[in-house]
Chain A
Amino acid sequence: MLARPGLPDFEYLKAESPQEVFNLLKDKGPDLKLMMGGTDLFVQMRDRDSGPGTLLDIKGLPGMQEIEFGKTVGLTLGAAVTLNQISAHKDIRKYYPVLCQAADTVGNYQLRNRATLGGNICNASPSADMAPALLIYDAELILESPGGERQLPVAEFWVGPGKIALKEDEYLKAIHFPPPPEGAVGQYYKLGRSKMGDLAIVGVGMLGYPDPETPAGLRFKIGINSTAPTPYRVPAVEDYLAQHSLSDDVLSQAAEDAMDISAPIEDIRATALYQKKMVRNLTKKGLKEIWGSLK
């Protein structure tokens, strides 16, 4: 006996080559859904009468699970690299620590053995935990189509809740990160209903690094989730911080500005007002801590 109706009927296919993916995308159109870890997709499909007619599993394609790192070239992660692989990787932990911190807050350990970075990106949840880290490390998505590859900054990929700028003949192949700024310090600040295992009510990813060109002597990059239709950077706040000699007042003003930019909706997890105030508080906390460790 099934406790719940379970997953609706679909045909499962496993892609062996990019060409096979392109052919099937062309033949089946919107009736085909690409899948990798399935941890979000299956939950979305469950208990519905119908869903995509075909699931095409692309995590086994060549290169999809590879991790490449070089100090001068940066980091390239195959789209199907799992969150636990990210968390356990020594170079990622050293050079892109916010990616690991964010990965460690997603769901639970079992889930992260299946959940992939590419899936988290393509699912396009406004509250995606990996999003702030992707934004502050300037992630570029490598999209593969019959015409070849194109690169797109991750911020341009998210169009709305669950909506992405993936063309109908494309799939997400890899995510590239340039080398992080010299001397960078970063942190992911996540507020959930519990300390671990829950979705973000607000998440703020922050990176600070020395920059002698600025009056502040350093620069910040700030990425925020859960408080707008898509995760977002706050360049106006980042510029304000760079252009001012830092003080407690300047940090407070920056946090207020971040709060003003945020545009959350009332939802089951929190009121909009609470989320806005938490954007301010987490931003302030982060700026203080990171400034402190860079001083």
Chain B
Amino acid sequence: MENHAITLIVNGQEEALLVPSNMTLLHALRDGLGLTGTKNGCEAGECGACTVLVDGEPVNSCLVLAVELDGREITTIEGLSSNGKLTPLQQAFADLNAVQCGYCTPGMLMAGTALLRRNPNPTVEDIQKALVGNLCRCTGYQRIIDAIMEASRNGGTR
């Protein structure tokens, strides 16, 4: 199979990649660019561990081909903090112990970030709806919801 030469703008940086047609964005990020913060869970669009932002909108990176996204802006978990300073949402996850095993956390943070950008003052129900596609088998979700509420009071995503 022929490789496609594409450019992705990942966390603000231009990345030139040579990808086969069947390579998903998930594998391009993890295996092509070494950005292993984005997790591989179900590879079927159900668990949300692979959630990243494409042009600011959350998508399951396991269900998008890298070649489809030539020229687009991708934000991964590695791109949230700047100069070591966590976003209010990341800080709230740490402060409120919204993390146990941590595997779902990058996806939760990306979905939560996207939610707070489109709705800076979500209700608990808004948060629950936004996280339907992010499974967590440890926390029972309550602390994750608390952390997103806390972040919405503390300036949201930035």
Contacts and interface: CB of A to CB of B under 8 A. Distances in A.
A9 B22 contact: yes
A11 B58 contact: no
Interface string B1-27: 110100000000000000011101001
A113 interface: yes
Given A38-B65, A107-B45, A10 B132 contact: no
A46 interface: yes
Given A2-B27, A3-B40, A3-B43, A109 B63 contact: no
B2 A11 contact: yes
B64 A38 contact: yes
Prevailing SS type, chain B contact patch: mixed
B64 A114 contact: yes
Q: Binding site of A, secondary structure by majority: helix, strand, loop or mixed?
A: loop
Interface in A1-22: 2-4, 6-12, 14
Chain A interface: which size bin? 20 to 34
Given A43-B44, A46-B43, A110 B51 contact: yes
Sorted from nearest, which 9 A-B pairs have the closest CB atoms? A108-B133, A12-B21, A7-B22, A197-B132, A108-B132, A196-B132, A110-B58, A110-B60, A111-B45
Interface of B: 1-2, 4, 20-22, 24, 27, 40, 43-46, 48, 51, 54, 57-60, 63-65, 67-68, 111, 114, 128-130, 132-134
Interface of A: 2-4, 6-12, 14, 38-39, 42-43, 46, 55, 57, 84, 104, 107-111, 113-114, 196-197
